[in-house]
Amino acid sequence: MLKQLYLIIILIFFAITAQAKEVKGHVFDDNDQPIIGANVYWEGTQQGTTTDVDGAFKLKTREGANKLVVSYIGYETFVLPVTNVDEPLKIKLKGEVALEEVVISERKIGTIASRTSVLQTQKITYDELCRAACCNLAESFETNPSVDVSYADAATGARQIKLLGLAGTYVQMLTENYPNFRGAASLYGLDYVPGAWMESIQVSKGTSSVKNGYEALAGQINVEFKKPPTADIFSVNLFGSDAGRYEGNADASWHINDKVSTGLLVHYSNDKKQHDGNDDGFLDTPLREQVNLMNRWYHKLDKYVAQYGVRYLHESRTGGQATKHHDFADPYKVHLNTNRAELYTKQAYIIDNEKVESVALILSGSYHEQKSMYDRTPYNVYQNNVYASLLYEKEFSPAHSLSTGLSMNYDGFNENLLQNDVRNVFDRTEVVPGAYLQYTYNLNDKLIVLGGIRADYSSLYDFFVTPRVHIKYNPFDWFHVRVSAGKGFRTANILAENNFLLSSSRKMNIADNLDQEEAWNTGVNLAFYIPLFGKELTLNGEWYYTNFLKQVVVDMDSDPHAVSFYNLDGKSYSNSFQVEATYPFFRGFTLTAAYRYTDAKTDYRNAAGVTQRLKKPLVSDYKGLLTASYQTPLKKWQFDLTGQFNGGGRMPAPDATNPLWKSDFNAYTVVNAQITKYFRRWSVYIGAENLFDYKQSHPIIDAENPRGDNFDGSMVWGPVHGRKIYAGLRFNISRD
């Protein structure tokens, strides 16, 4: 009996590991842009697959089949004889041409959920970004049901992401797959990325790969900028609104030779018109001016690829009382001046093409300087960051691959806060070296298991280990299941991440010996791709649970005149449930509907020191989204309409003896619309944000007495500005 059991185990092992070979490759269009969702199959068979968000595909070989067919609507079908399955393929499809040189094309998908990635990842393309007034990263999620962006306060204009019911500090921000906008840049970093510079945005929920570090507790957002080899020769984006906001973007790329290319990106924005729609004496949004420059280089030899980049940003903000419309002898003002410089390099060498073996080095550094004056309270922060990552990757077979590497992150903070005639200096340095190992097992693309573990040592918090696992199983082509679980860690930077709270009379009570934050995140995603009336209905259902083992609690409840930061004593968690459906009802028209419910609670200490479990304040209980887009034949016109239905939620506890705000806030709806007219090389657009002019009536508490004990500009739960009408122009000379 024991011998039979051994024999069965051996047979099962060989059945799993003795996989057939796979043919791999990428599919591109005439402009060398990846084609997403192209059909790839063996001629005369039903065995095939589709390309992912990078245009990549993998397909198991089949006995007797040696011709690969690649097709996509709007392009000529390509048939390729395959003689060497060990060599990756690069396939370029040509656009179909009808009589009178009219290009027949199918509308590109704006937001793509990867079918092949083991992580649940959404790619927001440039076409999707153009559906709204995407002036920067903060305004890039208007049509996305997963990511919320809201104002943190009504004076500075700071905006924060919310994902899975958690603040944006728990979302790891990346630019081209290296960490960025951390610490001092986390409050305003969303405004530092011009929309016209972006090629795409990838949004991943839950724990991510250990390759990028240990910080993704709720998810990860990665921004890809336009790249010199594929970017337009020249493009311009001009924008203006009735609110007095003007913006200009320009970028150009040069191919110096077939190995070296460079790109220059320029941004300038000016928002200096004063608005006080509710006549409370305070500006609805701060006055801003920003200059943003980037230069990047790309160098490619046979097996060696190198990228270099440098960037500089200057921004000034002024919020507070609107002196233009109100006569204040000594107005309450908030001034912020920021200078930021970044540089980075990526070096990669392909050791073996056939075995998919490579090594890469990523280096980045940044200097961030923010000088602030919150009325009579000066606050300055200076941060230096250095990041390094050495990566090695090897594919042993189509079923087994390995990634390993070393990393180091350095953060140096110098913070000065003068409050109540007491100068507080917060100098802090943290160095975190680490190493990771990640293994991927792929069973015919039906079952993919990604397991990773990393070990890091913090100069502040000692040694810690981050385990993560992702499993993807698709028993049928129309049904995919993803499961993930893993840990995340984060160092809380109290003042750098919360200095917007200085625009209130609240005292800041910061406890000593704050913990490194630590949480488990578990998630399940079910994706259905259902053929319906000749189209495909996409359904997604998901649940994510984040459970904090350690957390720095931001407590605005125990004292309505103070905000306290202390270590969690009890439980803190977030449940997020979401369903989403997308269907192209007819050619050029797509409708997406989504609903999300959030249950996020934390144990807070009340005034008597007793712990009480409450919902997280200023978080909507639910969100519904309905977005429709129609593009006429030949892409002459495009019409976009988006409705966001935000549920009510809990406010921080008001003063019991003098309640100046309610204990909860009501549900509200925001509608955005845009019309775009396309020409050969340029397009014009006109639109409206907050079409029905909904805004929070009193976002600033006790605005009449800004230096009194009750003044608070952080009680923001809804729009602080009304309807905005805008228009813009885009022009480009494409590389084709």
* pLDDT tens figures, 510-534: 999 999 999 999 999 999 999 998 8
pLDDT higher than threshold 50 for residue 18: no
pLDDT of residue 481: 96
Q: Give me the pLDDT at residue 97, please.
A: 41
| 684 or 106, greater pLDDT | 684
> pLDDT band at residue 4, thresholds of 50, 70 and 90?
very low
Check: CB of residue 202 under 8 Å from CB of residue 52. no
- Residue 376's nearest CA partner among 711, 19, 125, 612 is 711
Per DSSP, the residues of 663-684 read SEE--EEEEEEEEEEE-SSEEE
Residue range 222-232: mean pLDDT, rounded: 94
| Least confident among 14-23, 471-480, 494-503 | 14-23
Structural tokens at position 683: 């397009």
Strand, helix or coil for residue 596: strand
As a whole number, the mean pLDDT across the chain is 89
With a CB cutoff of 8 Å and minimum separation 6, the contacts of 618 are 150, 649, 650, 651, 652, 665, 715, 716, 717
Closest CA to 186 of 423, 564, 490, 460: 490
**The amino acid at 730:** R
Q: How far apart are CA 692 and CA 672, in angstroms?
A: 9
Give residue-wise pLDDT tens across range 237-271: 999 999 999 999 999 999 999 999 999 999 999 99
Q: pLDDT category, 14, cuts 50, 70, 90?
A: very low
Residue 70, strand partner residues: 40, 78
List all residues 6 or more positions away from 589 whose beta carbon is below 8 Å from its beta carbon: 628, 629, 630, 631
The residue type of 671 is V
Query: Rounded mean pLDDT of 656-682?
Result: 94
Query: Would you place residue 278 in the very low, low, confident or very high pLDDT band (cuts 50, 70, 90)?
Result: confident
Spatial distance between the Cα atoms of 57 and 40, rounded to a whole number of angstroms: 8
Give the model confidence (pLDDT) of 570-582 as tens digits: 999 999 999 999 9
Rounded distance between C-alpha atoms, residue 494 and residue 336, angstroms: 18
Contact yes or no for 287/271 (Cβ under 8 A)? yes
User: 585 or 326, which is more confident?
Assistant: 585
Residue 180 above 90 pLDDT? yes
pLDDT > 90 fraction of the chain, expressed in percent and rounded: 67
pTM of the complete model = 0.86
Q: Which residue has the higher pLDDT, 440 or 98?
A: 440
Residues 393-409 have a mean pLDDT of 94
Per the CB < 8 A criterion, the answer to whether 161 and 221 are in contact is yes
Domains assigned to the chain: 2-101 (2.60.40.1120), 111-733 (2.40.170.20)
Does pLDDT of 11 surpass 70?
A: no
Burial 614-624 (b: 16+ CB within 10 A, else e): bbbbbbbbbbb
In the prediction, which pLDDT does 324 show? 63
Tens of pLDDT along 524-564? Answer: 999 999 999 888 999 999 999 999 999 999 999 999 999 99
Residue 645 has pLDDT above 80, yes or no: yes
Tokens of 430: 């943290």
Confidence of residue 57 (pLDDT cuts 50, 70, 90): confident
pLDDT at 90 over 60: yes
Does position 566 have pLDDT exceeding 70, yes or no? yes
Q: Are the C-beta atoms of 487 and 522 separated by less than 8 Å?
A: no
- Range with top average pLDDT, 108-117, 170-179, 319-328: 170-179
Strand 422-443 to strand 400-419: parallel, antiparallel, or no bridges (unpaired)? antiparallel
Q: What is the pLDDT of residue 7?
A: 44
**Residue 100 pLDDT class (50, 70, 90 cuts):** very low
Give the tokens for residue 652: 């921080």
CA terminus-to-terminus distance, the chain? 68
Q: What is the pLDDT of residue 418?
A: 82
pLDDT digits (tens, 9 = 90+) for 193-216: 999 999 999 999 999 999 999 999
Confidence class of residue 310 from pLDDT cuts 50, 70 and 90? very high
Q: Which two tokens stand for residue 329?
A: 């002898």
Q: What pLDDT band is residue 325 in, cutting at 50, 70 and 90?
A: low
pLDDT on residue 9: 39
Q: Look at 9-13, 337-341, 669-673 and tell me which has the smallest mean pLDDT.
A: 9-13
Amino acid sitting at position 490: R
Please tell me which residue, 164 or 12, carries the higher pLDDT value.
164
User: Mean pLDDT throughout 93-118?
Assistant: 61
Return the pLDDT at 74: 57
User: 65: closest CA among 90, 89, 40?
Assistant: 40
Q: Is pLDDT of 15 > 60?
A: no
Q: What pLDDT shows up at residue 121?
A: 87
Q: Which of 21-25, 64-68, 432-436, 634-638 has the highest mean pLDDT?
A: 432-436
Percent of the chain scoring above 70 in pLDDT: 93
Does 736 score more than 80 pLDDT?
A: no
